[in-house]
Amino acid sequence: MFEQIARVPGDAILGLIEAFNNDTNPQKVDLGVGVYRDANGNTPVMRAVKQAENRLVENEVTKTYIGSHGDPRFGKVVLPMVLGAESPVLAANRASATQAPGGTGALRLAADFIASNLKGRDIWLSTPTWPNHLGIFDAAGVTRHNYPYVDENNRLDFDGMLATLKTIPEGDVVLLHACCHNPTGFDLSREQWDQVLEVVQARKLLPLIDFAYQGFGDGLEEDAYGVRLLAENVDDAIITSSCSKNFGIYCERTGCLILIAKDEESMLDVRSQAAITARENYSNPPAHGGAVVIDILEDDTLRGEWKSELTEMRERINGLRRDFVEALKPYGLDEQFAFIAEQRGMFSYTGLSPEQVDRLRDEFGIYMVRSGRANVAGFSTENLPYVAKAIATVVKG
Rounded to a whole number of angstroms, the minimum distance from the CB of residue 102 to ligand PMP is 3
Nearer to ligand PMP, 130 or 379 (CB): 130
- CA 363, 365, 370, 376 dihedral sign is negative
CA neighbor of 134 nearest in space, from 162, 161, 111, 157: 111
Rounded to a whole number of angstroms, the minimum distance from the CB of residue 198 to ligand PMP is 24
Instruction: Count other C-beta atoms under 10 Å from residue 191's C-beta.
Output: 8
Strands 95-100 and 255-260: antiparallel
DSSP state of 250: G
CA neighbor of 200 nearest in space, from 157, 154, 147: 147
**What's at 358, amino acid-wise?**
D
Rounded to a whole number of angstroms, the minimum distance from the CB of residue 317 to ligand PMP is 14
Alpha-carbon span 186 to 180, nearest angstrom: 7
Instruction: Count other C-beta atoms under 10 Å from residue 236's C-beta.
Output: 17
Catalytic residue among 210, 223, 295, 306: 210
Instruction: Note if 23 is an active site residue.
Output: no
CA neighbor of 267 nearest in space, from 276, 277, 259: 259
Alpha-carbon span 346 to 279, nearest angstrom: 33
Instruction: Count other C-beta atoms under 10 Å from residue 316's C-beta.
Output: 18
| Secondary structure element (H or E) that encloses residue 69, with its range | none
Instruction: Note if 210 is an active site residue.
Output: yes
Catalytic residue among 157, 187, 223, 245: 245
Q: What is the maximal distance between C-alpha atoms in the chain?
A: 63
Nearer to ligand PMP, 102 or 215 (CB): 102
Alpha-carbon span 333 to 320, nearest angstrom: 16
Q: Under the rule (CB under 6 A), what is the footprint of ligand PMP?
A: 34, 102-104, 130, 177, 182, 210, 212, 242, 244, 250, 255
Rounded to a whole number of angstroms, the minimum distance from the CB of residue 241 to ligand PMP is 9
The radius of gyration of the chain's CA atoms, rounded to the nearest angstrom, is 21
Label residue 5 exposed, middle or buried (CB < 10 Å: 0-12, 13-18, 19+): exposed
Give catalytic residues, as residue numbers.
130, 210, 245
